[in-house]
Amino acid sequence: MRLNKVRVVKCSCAVKPDDVLTIALPGRVKVVRVRGEAERRGSASLAQALYDDLTLPAVPEAHEAQATSPESHA
């Protein structure tokens, strides 16, 4: 995981509004910006209001894009 482009080596670290987290997941990378913090634990919908998902949509690999393009069927 990265916090504002710096690799996090501790198991826990403090985050604050406007921090950007980059999280490596199997097969993808998720990027979120912290919008705020909650006073206490709440529901998932309340938690989702506290961050912006900046993850770019998945881009198909080049050979998959070519296989589905109109030119490949001509």
Q: What is the pLDDT of residues 2-55, one digit of tens each?
A: 999 999 988 788 899 999 999 999 989 999 999 999 889 989 999 999 999 999
Given a contact cutoff of 8 angstroms between Cβ atoms, the answer to whether 35 and 16 are in contact is no
Residues in the chain: 74
| pLDDT recorded at residue 18 | 97
49, 35 Cβ separation under 8 angstroms: yes
CA of residue 7 relative to chain centroid, distance: 15
pTM (global) more than 0.75: no
